[in-house]
Amino acid sequence: MKKIMVMLAITLGLVGVPAMAADMSNGADNFYKSDRVTIQKISFKNKMGMKVVGNLFTPKNLEQNRKYAVIVVGHPMGAVKEQSANLYATKLAEQGFVTLDFDLSFWGESEGEPRNTVSTDIYVDDFLAAVDFLGTQTFVDRGRIGALGICASGSFVVSAAQIDPRIRAIATVSMYDMGAANRNGLHHSVTLKQREKILQDAAQERTAEFSGAPIKYTSGTPEKLTKNSTVVEREFYDFYRTPRGYSPNTTTHPTLVSNVSFMNFYPFEQIQTISPRHLLFVVGEKGHSREFSEDAYQRAAEPKELYIVPGAGHVDLYDRTKLIPFAKLANFFRENLK
């Protein structure tokens, strides 16, 4: 098995990355490719003039004189489009949709300095700019554009849909409310004193960096596991730090100074205004982030649906093809992007 993992690491170009055992159960297939789908590298500018780089996925038998429904797909926070988003975009393109995913600004191949900066306003505008770009494609039906956000991108697409009626149907998978997660922690585990300490540390770091200190990074997936690593840390580690989902284009670590901006992010504050457009929240039964999808569902107006995947955890829905309800997602967008 060790030899197999070493060969896989070489194949994926994981130079310098330990060939660690990865849990490939339930059809884990982050790097899935399809001979029924054509992929084209594209780029577009957001309203800040920053270049956003993405992939456009089209069915192999694309008819240029036909208008297609299209889905914009967002990757998890700290990830890049090659992690989870490509898989979803490919699988949905196999179902006859045109799909587009992209690296959020400051991450992956997209522009933005300093790298790994958190800026929710710019992230949201990236999704709106993707809609702008798709509207220029002759084979895209501008009235049939949907959005799907994985993990943190779920909160970004919900926020985007509140201010852009061109997004006609919205689905999230293993959604993280990045505002609540940073203000309160999972299950409201962060105390007021701990929150104040986080803000104080960030303020001190701003002062230091303004005077020339090197940029500090925070949170994200740990680089190494220890005997004290939590279940959640181990869950993320198995995806991001092994050949299962590793990408050389990301560290998953946002800058410490910018990460506190999430505390002013309230993506569900006006979620009811998305109605009468349809919302679908997909979450694993055992997902540590389940509370965020349930909160969003409670706040949203009809029509809405909370779909719980039996036995699945949070990261399971990044790449485990035997657990991810691709048929459910395809039917949701097919029905609501008529």
CATH of the domain at 174: 3.40.50.1820
What percent of the residues of the chain are helix, what percent strand, and what percent coil, each to the nearest 5? 35, 20, 45
Which pLDDT value is given to residue 9? Answer: 41
12 domain-assigned: no
Beta bridge partners of 284: 309
Distances (CA, A) of 35 to 38, 82, 91, 121: 8, 17, 11, 36
User: Would you state the structure tokens that stand for residue 172, as one six-digit string?
Assistant: 């999230």
| pLDDT over threshold 50, residue 139 | yes
226 domain-assigned: yes
10 domain-assigned: no
pLDDT band for 214, please (50, 70, 90 cuts). Answer: very high
Q: Which residues of 84-97 are buried (b: 16+ CB within 10 A; e: fewer)?
A: bbbbbbbbbbbbeb
pLDDT band for 6, please (50, 70, 90 cuts). Answer: very low
Distances (CA, A) of 94 to 103, 168, 201, 212, 316: 22, 21, 47, 50, 21
204 domain-assigned: yes
Measured CA to CA, the distance from residue 261 to residue 284 in angstroms comes to 28
Query: CB–CB of 276/303 below 8 Å?
Result: yes
Average pLDDT over residues 29-49: 98
| pLDDT over threshold 80, residue 45 | yes
337 domain-assigned: no
pLDDT band for 21, please (50, 70, 90 cuts). Answer: confident
Average pLDDT over residues 236-251: 98
Percent of the chain with pLDDT over 90: 93
Average pLDDT over residues 48-74: 97
Which pLDDT value is given to residue 64? Answer: 87
| pLDDT over threshold 80, residue 260 | yes
132 domain-assigned: yes
Average pLDDT over residues 103-127: 98
Alpha helices (H) in 164-191, listed in sequence order: 178-184
Which pLDDT value is given to residue 20? Answer: 65
Total domains in the chain come to 1
How is the beta sheet containing 68-74 ordered, strand by strand?
Answer: 37-45, 51-59, 98-102, 68-74, 140-150, 167-173, 278-284, 304-309
Q: At what angle do helices 290-299 and 153-163 cross, to 10 degrees?
A: 20
Angle (CA) 62-36-174 rounded to 5° is: 100
| pLDDT over threshold 80, residue 333 | yes
Which pLDDT value is given to residue 199? Answer: 98
189 domain-assigned: yes
247 domain-assigned: yes
| pLDDT over threshold 50, residue 255 | yes
| pLDDT over threshold 90, residue 4 | no
| pLDDT over threshold 90, residue 12 | no
Span of 2-11, 76-85, 191-200 with lowest mean pLDDT? 2-11
**Where do we find the tokens 């005077």?**
211
Exposed/middle/buried for 317, CB within 10 Å: 0-12, 13-18, 19+?
buried
Q: Within a 10 A sphere around the Cβ of 331, how many other Cβ atoms?
A: 13
Percent of the chain with pLDDT over 70: 94
pLDDT digit string, tens, across residues 59-70: 999 998 999 999
Domain that holds residue 131: 20-332
| pLDDT over threshold 90, residue 140 | yes
What pTM did the predictor assign? Answer: 0.94
| pLDDT over threshold 80, residue 8 | no
